[in-house]
Amino acid sequence: MKTVSRPKAILIYILAIIICIVGLVPGYVKGLKNNESQKPTQKVNEQTTTIPTIVSSESEATVAETPETTIQNNQTATTKNTGKTTVKTSGNKGSNALNNSGSNSGNMSGNYSPVFSGGLSVKGRKLVNSSGKQVQLRGVSTHGLAWFPQYVNASLISELKTKWNCNVIRLAMYTAEYGGYCTGGNRENLKRLINNGVSYATNNGMYAIIDWHILSDGNPNTHINEAKSFFAEMANKYKNNSHVIYEICNEPNGGTSWSQIKSYAETIIGVIRQYDGDAVVIVGTPTWSQEVDKAVANPITKYSNIMYAFHFYAGTHQESYRNTVAAAINAGLPIFVTEFGISDASGNGGLNESQGNKWISLLNKYGISYCAWNLSNKSESSALISSGCSKTSGFSYSDLSPSGKWYYNILTGKTSLQGVDSGITSAKNTTTYTYIPPTTTAVQTTKAVIGTPAYSLKLSNSWVSGEETFYQYELSLTNKSNENYTGWKVTIPFNETVKLSSGWCGNYTVSGNKLTITSMDYNGQINKGSSISNIGFIVSGSKNLKAS
């Protein structure tokens, strides 16, 4: 056997030590990182203006942990110890007309897995899961439940999860519009739709926002007694369901002050807490949920697990509004964007994808949750489904509107938008920017008349529920007279007795086989030779029902 000289042996010994050190260092460094990640998150005092650490796109902001982390698909999700309902979530996608293949896109998309994260709570400015880790909910809002009930179905909500990557659906129940809960709407039908939506979301491991959709009533105190009764019933019913979030006033407006909203909110939250002690509650903010800075200055401190709504439409609300949101976040305010679109503030008009991209970049940067408006085929640019599509599930890409295609791309990571700048100029900017809602252009009239315009009626959808068949119609009106209308009236005959289910952008009455519609205060003016649209209704009858 060949022997090794002493100098060579020493050299070999030194090399062996170096190799061992090199092999151990990565594991040691990894261990340090793991230990660092397990440190408790510093809680931000919600009553101060301490600036918290910003969540970057690659840090702790996730959507309910991806399947590669602590919660796996096909396993029961862990919840906080509240005794609330949990479900199993399935990773099987089946055959998808829409699929979610495609690469991630940094801040702009992220191929998030919508896995249920247990009971949610609010920690500082963050929405966190049952393990205390920040989550980001991303999904859609329905249109008014009374107007588009057909989209609350099990197939579509499952599709939103498995094909769109949604993990939340907002159930928008108008309070004061036609068919509203407080203005003659069928309350039992509306509550049935909410129950169905919550059940479908729960079964799919998604969250459901029950939205008390204040709009034309402006001040939520207008119907506070109805709100107390409604939320007492909902909280008692869903107190053991961790999937439910309560949004107690959609868009306060008409000069309603933050002090009025806060007073209302503390009353309604108190009602909810009598039954459900820890559910997340979202509170609207003044001027169509624009002025989150007012909540920063005087937040609700009487209760915990409270978030504040901010709404934007990218065609109208741009950089100055993003500055306001960033300032509120950096002041520690927990914000949830429960409604947004890339149209103008009316929900219609041209689309601004560029500004929409900047908004999504900002929201994803901070891990802010959001729901897009709206899940319907209404003939307006904010609707996610094409107005020519009568399907209520099983959508292909071509069935989506331009807004729907843009948002589907955002949710599934199919866009290439990495590096888009949100346009924030100063995160500390606390300037108040007043939102001026769109107004109807004044029409000069020669005399006040009740017009009888020519109308065009389009059957846009139909479906069967029980023994009844429902028909959805879109109506457009044309003033063919030589006068300018300041009001209009249309009577539509049917071939048999008809029942009205819901209607929008008009006042509706039914007598036998005739449906009569008169103008609202904002759409009664029609110049001679001009037309208006965006009017529609849903009626029911036999399978042979049709307009004469």
The set of catalytic residues is: 251, 339
Q: Which residues pair with 474 in a beta bridge?
A: 458, 536
Residues 6+ apart with CB under 8 A from 350: 315, 343, 344, 381
Among 532, 471, 542, which residue's Cα sits nearest to residue 506? 532
Long-range CB pairs of 66-69, under 8 A, 24+ apart, other chains included: 66/112, 66/113, 66/115, 67/91, 67/113, 67/115
Three-class secondary structure of residue 122 per DSSP: strand
377 contacts 390 by C-beta, under 8 angstroms: yes
For residue 155 the two structure tokens come to: 């197939």
Residues 6+ apart with CB under 8 A from 467: none
| Other Cβ atoms within 10 Å of 193 Cβ, number | 20
Longest dimension (CA), the chain: 120
384 residue type, one letter: L
73 residue type, one letter: N
Three-class secondary structure of residue 415 per DSSP: coil
Sign, CA torsion 73/74/79/82: positive
